[in-house]
Structure 1
Amino acid sequence: MVDDFRWPLGPPGAANFDLPSSARVYDFLLGGTSHGAVDRVMGRDLARAEPLVVSIVRENRSFLRRAVTFLAHAGIDQFLDLGSGIPTMGNTHEIARRVNPDARVAYVDIDPVAVSHGELLLGAAARGVTVTHADLRDPEKVLAAPAVTEVIDFARPVGVLMFSVLQHVSAADDPAAVVGGFLAHVVPGSALAVSHLTADDPRIDIDAICGPTRAYPSGRATPRSADELAALVEGLDLVEPGLVFAAQWRPEARRHRGPLAEPCCGHRAAVGFLPA
C-alpha cells in the first residue's frame, strides 16, 4: 500500500504546488497536460497500488459525457459543474454544445490552481462559460458567486453536476446537506447528475485508492455504500437505469473490452430530475 505520509498536509483551497491535488491527479490519469510533478508521482503511486485506477477514472469521464449529452437532449441548457477540476478538452461545455451550441456552463472548483488553468484554457473565446474558485460545501456562497450568476438563470431548470467530488465531502460536512443545499435553490425540472466512489465494489482495493488521498487539500476520499449513495439522491425522479455502477448507466453501443468490461468500475452513478 502507498505511504499515507509522503506529503505534508495543507489547508483546503490553498495554492500549494508541493501538494498533489485531486483535480490535477485526475487530469494526469486521463492523459491530460495540466498537472505538475507531484501530481504525476501521486498518480503513478495510485496506479501501482490499484492498477484499475486509470480505467476507473476514464469510465467516470465516460459517464460525464453520456450524462451531459442526455441532459442536453432532455432540454437542459445550463449546467453548474461542481468540483469540475480542469475544464480541458471534452469537458462539460464542449459536450453540451454538441447538442445545443448556446448551452451555458459555470464551473466551480476548490483548487485555485485548477481554476487558474481553467481560466487560461477557456479564455475569452468561450462565451457563456465561467470558472469560479469556491468550496461546494458552502452552497450559498457558490450560488451567489458573480461568475455563477453571470451564466446561470436559477429561475429556469439547471443541470447540477457532481462528478466524483462528493467523496471529498466528509461525513462531518454532511454530503446529503450539501446536495440538498443546491437542489433547494433550483426549480422543478432541474436535474442532478452524480457519480461517487463506491465502498462495495469487490474488485477494487478501495484502501489502496483512498489511503494516499489524505494528502489532498480538498480532503481524503470517503467511499460510500450503495445505500448511502441512494440517500444522496432520495426524492429525485431517477431516470433509468437508476443508481448503478457508472459503466451500467446507459452504456454506449460499443463498449471497450478490457478489465472493466463488466459493470463494476469503482463509481456508482445516477441522473435524476427534481419533481414539481
Structure 2
Amino acid sequence: MTEHAAGSRPPAIDSSRPHPARRYNYWLGGKDHFAADRESGDQIAAVMPSIRTAALENRAFLGRAAGHIARQGVRQFLDIGTGIPAPGNTHEIVQAVDPQARIVYADNDPLVLTHARALMAGTPGTIAYLDADLRDPASILDHPDLHKLLDLSEPVGLLLIAVLHFVRDDEDADGVVAQLLDRLPAGSWVAASHATWEHTPEHVVAELQKSNRDGRFVPRDGHRFADLFAGRIEIVEPGVVSVADWHNDNPARAAAADVMCNALVGRKP
C-alpha cells in the first residue's frame, strides 16, 4: 500500500459523527465503526429492516462487476469510495483473474486509510490507496501515487460503488462523473451503483429523510442515474437494474424494493 505523504500525519478521525464507510461496515457485519455509526445505522434499519441485505447485495454486485470487467481484459482499476476493507475487496477479485492487475483505491475517511494500510494485501507493487474525495476528481486523477501505478493512456476499470448518492446536485454530480470519464481512454469500463427510492413507499421515504437532514444522501431513480453517464459510456446488458439482479443467477436474490439500489456497467467507446 502507498503511504501518506512523507512526514505528514493522517487526518484526525472524527468518531462523534457517523460516516458512510463505517456505517456500511456495520451493516456488513464488520467491527470497524463507532457508536455514532451504529446509532445512525440502527435508525435507518428501524425504518428499512432490509438495509443489511441491501449492503450485502451491493457488495456482491461489486464482485460480479469487477470480475466481469477484468475478464474483458482490463488490468488496471480505480475504485473510488472503496470503504473499509472487507472480504471481497476489488484487488482480491481482479487479481484472481490476473495476479498482476493493478488497483488504486480512494476514500475520504481517515479510518479507511488506517485499515487499508494494515489489511489490504496483494501482489507487491499492484495496490495503492489515496486519501481523496470523489467531489474533487482532479485530486484523484492528478495524484502522483495514482500515476505511479496506473497508465491513463490504457483502459481503466472505474468503480463507483454506492458512492455517487453522496454527491449532491449542487456539488455537480454530473460534472464529477464527466471529469472522471473524460480523463479515461476509449476501452475503459465503469461499474456503478446508486441508491434509489423509486420502489419505496412514501411513508418509508418520509422516515428515512429524518436521518438525512443535511441532504448529504441523494437517492436518484434509474433514469437520473443513467443520465449521469449519458453520452460517455455504452451501458451493457441488462442495462440499469437492481444491484441484486445484475448478472445474478441466484433465484433467492433480494427484491428490488428491499435493496433500493440500482446498478449499471458500461464501456467507453
Q: Same fold (TM over 0.5)?
A: yes
Q: Output the CA distance in 1 between the equivalents of 2:16 and 2:256.
A: 37
Higher relative contact order (CA 8 A, sep 6+): 1
Residues 1:168 and 2:162 are matched in the alignment: no
Q: Give 1:115 deviation, angstroms.
A: 1.6
Q: 2:236 aligns with which of 234, 239, 243?
A: 239
Alignment-derived partner of residue 28 in structure 1: 26
Residues 1:227 and 2:223 are matched in the alignment: yes
Check whether the contact 2:242–2:256 (CA below 8 A) recurs between aligned residues. Answer: no
Name the stretch that deviates more: 64-73 or 30-39.
30-39
Q: Deviations over 1:141-179 (max 9, x none)?
A: 111112222221101000111001010000101111101
Residues 1:270 and 2:264 are matched in the alignment: yes
Alignment-derived partner of residue 10 in structure 1: none
Alignment-derived partner of residue 3 in structure 1: none
Identity %: 37
Alignment-derived partner of residue 80 in structure 2: 82
- In structure 2, the CA distance between the partners of 1:207 and 1:113, relative to structure 1 (3 Å rule), is farther
Count of equivalent residues: 257
Letter in 2 for 1:45: Q
Partner of 1:153: helix, strand, or coil?
coil
Residues 1:98 and 2:85 are matched in the alignment: no
Q: Output the CA distance in 1 between the equivalents of 2:91 and 2:210.
A: 32
Q: Output the CA distance in 2 between the equivalents of 1:203 and 1:241.
A: 25
Check whether the contact 2:51–2:259 (CA below 8 A) recurs between aligned residues. Answer: no
Check whether the contact 2:160–2:191 (CA below 8 A) recurs between aligned residues. Answer: yes
Alignment-derived partner of residue 59 in structure 2: 61
Q: What's the TM-score once normalised by structure 1's chain length?
A: 0.86
Alignment-derived partner of residue 8 in structure 2: none
Runs of 5+ in structure 1 lacking a partner? 1-12
Q: Output the CA distance in 1 between the equivalents of 2:221 and 2:83.
A: 24
Q: Output the CA distance in 2 between the equivalents of 1:105 and 1:213.
A: 32
- In structure 2, the CA distance between the partners of 1:62 and 1:208, relative to structure 1 (3 Å rule), is farther
Q: Give 1:124 deviation, angstroms.
A: 8.2
CA RMSD of aligned residues (A): 2.1
Runs of 5+ in structure 2 lacking a partner? 1-10
